[in-house]
Structure 1
Amino acid sequence: MAAATTVAEKKKAFKVPQFTAKDYTSFFTAGALCATITHGAMTPIDVVKTRIQVDPALAKHSLLSGGRVIVANEGAKALLTGFGPTAVGYLVQGGAKFAGYEYWKKQLVQIAGDQETAVRYRTGIYLGAASIGEFFADILLTPLEATRIRLVSSRGYATGLFTGFARLFREEGMRGLYAGFLPILCKQIPYAIGQFTVNEFCHEMVNRSMSEEKRKSVGPTANFGITLGCGIIAGFAAAVLSHPADTLLSQINKGHGPTGSMPHRLKVLAKEAGFKGLFAGLGPRMIMTAGLVAGQFIFYQGIKDAMGAPPGLEIHKESEK
């Protein structure tokens, strides 16, 4: 009888929080603000990174030397090229991604049915929630990302977000706006997987290294340090996983590569670039992404707390007794 009770206890259902529409609105708002703040602030680094990827004259430059060349030739204002579509694009994408991750993680935990099963398959739950949430977020992001890259890679293309978006739509239609949808998925889904999954496991490792009493006594400064450290590690992972597709995305939106289906174009461009070419500009992007991801988690938590939103669902494995 005791053994049966133990099994039943292990198989108990998760106490899954019942998030309301208000809660998801808070998740969306916090995700939107944290993404647009961090991506907007990183615009100069992103400009240099993109130019290194698509401009042969800058291909061998570092982040600092590439930035100096751009400022010397085009002025400091060039480093803010694409700020409009970056801020707006990641406003909608960030909201959809963070709220989507919270929503789909909850749905997948409920499908698992009980706590033991959910914890055992937590990696799959993280991967699935990140991938599905990112897919829908990228539907919103793709046209604005296409506009941003065109503004950055083609000097004089347009004066800003609205004129660039209008020109791209006028000349190439919806097909042009969504030409990069497949490579964006190839870039953003690995990015989201690295961002959320690695962050979850970093937090799990930290939690398992502390006793329950110590976890309860952790103050704001320590929490900030934990969030920052986990975010930086997750950012490095996100950069490495997504960089080849990021390079191809820049090439596609620049207009490079053969005609034909998108898979064919990606295959040809990847073959032409080679392994080294696909990872061109990885150093600057790792720096940028570490700051982005860490900053997003810090702002996301802070904004949620300020709005009185509940914490997300945790399915971490407890330390072995």
Structure 2
Amino acid sequence: MSSSDTNSKFLGYYEAAQGSSFPFGPFSRHAQCQAGQEQHQQPEHRLMMASTSDEVKVGTLKYYALCGFGGILSCGITHTALTPLDLVKCRIQVNPEKYKSIVNGFKVTMEEGGVRGLGRGWAPTAIGYSLQGLGKFGFYEIFKIVYGNVLGEELSYLYRTSLYLAASASAEFFADIALCPLEACKVRTQTKPGTSPLLRVVAPEIMRSEGLAGFYKGLVPLWMRQIPYTMMKFACFERTVELLYKHVVPKPRDQCGKGEQLTVTFAAGYIAGVFCAVVSHPADTVVSKLNQDKGSTAGQVLKKLGPIGVWKGLTPRIIMIGTLTALQWFIYDAVKVWLRLPRPPPPEMPESLKRKLAAKQQ
């Protein structure tokens, strides 16, 4: 395949890309390009500028693998660091009579297990969410390109938000299959009294008592929680970035320094995280209760909790997910810079679509 064919193949992806963290990352080497120069460049020329000779080529196995590695660090580090907050959140969900609030939850947990007790469940969290991050970000990059090529550059530009939603939902579907067994172990050790804090003890215990099904009985509620969360995470984040630069930041993005771009990145991630938490919280409560109560089903848990009970623990989850989402975008973008992965420029209407619109106006 010639170089021009390769450029044409991935041009639709670059034009469709609304950025994720790519075009505005705090360490972007392309962020300082002048807007006037970008407007006069041909699409092929801009594509070549976005991927220099020392960068990994978009669409290669190496590119996808390194994106997955960025996802491992992004999700694994952040979720593990917030294990204490996640622990309290889960306990509020499954036992609100004992753990009445965030402050009370931390107090009771400290009284029962000391500081060490706050780290309960860190091992399945680290492993599980690292695997989930691998699938979430790695498959997202794959599906974004595949769906973009199917739509073509014009439809990819016009319906780019739908493209992000579809790609992120597809990626999360597979990522949760990897996460689910570790999530079952995590919730069991955090919420069921008498359960060992050691992953090597909890996992065999679940296998002996419930078989393989015990690891996956929460998969459907996990999909119900994580797929809407991830769709919101990607789409809301990108739209929020656009709005912040349009209405809040007093100058164009390409004129902002690294610190300013990082501030916008973190703010957009946190705002997106708040929406993510609200959308996915009822299913998160069901997952927590399912893995606490042996032999229960999602329907039985929903009936037991009622319309009010599914919202228990929302405040700590908003804090946790907002922080997680903001930090994940920052880490993922920083890893892409470190590994010299190309980051597409902001979307621009394809020339063919501009000509069609101009012709209709005549």
2:13–2:153 Cα contact (<8 Å) kept: no
Task: State which of 306, 313, 319 in structure 2 corresponds to 1:274.
Answer: 306
Distance 2:105 2:282 in 1: 20
Partner of 1:8: none
2:188–2:195 Cα contact (<8 Å) kept: yes
Q: How does 1:129-278 map to 2 (within 5 A)?
A: 129-209=167-247, 214-255=252-293, 258=296, 265-278=297-310
1:118–1:315 Cα contact (<8 Å) kept: no
Distance 1:190 1:201 in 2: 16
Higher relative contact order (CA 8 A, sep 6+): 2
Task: State which of 107, 110, 132 in structure 2 corresponds to 1:71.
Answer: 110
1:106–1:313 Cα contact (<8 Å) kept: no
Q: Which amino acid in the other structure matches residue 65 of structure 1?
A: N
Identity of aligned residues (%): 35
Partner of 1:310: 342
Matched, 1:26 2:66: yes
Matched, 1:41 2:73: no
RMSD of aligned residue pairs (Cα, Å):
2.2
Matched, 1:50 2:82: no
1:204–1:316 Cα contact (<8 Å) kept: no
Q: Which amino acid in the other structure matches residue 233 of structure 1?
A: I
Partner of 1:84: 123
1:167 Cα deviation after fit: 1.5
Q: Which amino acid in the other structure matches residue 62 of structure 1?
A: S
Q: Where does structure 1 lack aligned partners over 5 or more consecutive residues?
A: 1-12, 259-264
Distance 1:168 1:317 in 2: 53
Matched, 1:103 2:142: yes
Partner of 1:283: 315
Q: Where does structure 2 lack aligned partners over 5 or more consecutive residues?
A: 1-10, 15-46, 48-57, 351-362
Give the 3-state SS of the residue equivalent to 2:118 in structure 1. Answer: helix
Distance 1:315 1:100 in 2: 21
Q: Which amino acid in the other structure matches residue 184 of structure 2?
A: A
2:245–2:252 Cα contact (<8 Å) kept: no
1:251–1:257 Cα contact (<8 Å) kept: no
1:257–1:268 Cα contact (<8 Å) kept: no
1:30–1:303 Cα contact (<8 Å) kept: yes
Give the 3-state SS of the residue equivalent to 2:312 in structure 1. Answer: coil
Task: State which of 151, 154, 159 in structure 2 corresponds to 1:112.
Answer: 151
Distance 2:346 2:192 in 1: 44
Partner of 1:4: none
Runs of 4+ in 1 over 3 A off after TM superposition: 15-18, 206-211, 312-318
TM-score, with normalisation over the residues of structure 2? 0.77
Give the 3-state SS of the residue equivalent to 2:256 in structure 1. Answer: coil
Q: Which amino acid in the other structure matches residue 227 of structure 2?
A: I
Equivalent pairs counted in the alignment come to: 297
User: Which shifted more, 198-207 or 66-75?
Assistant: 198-207
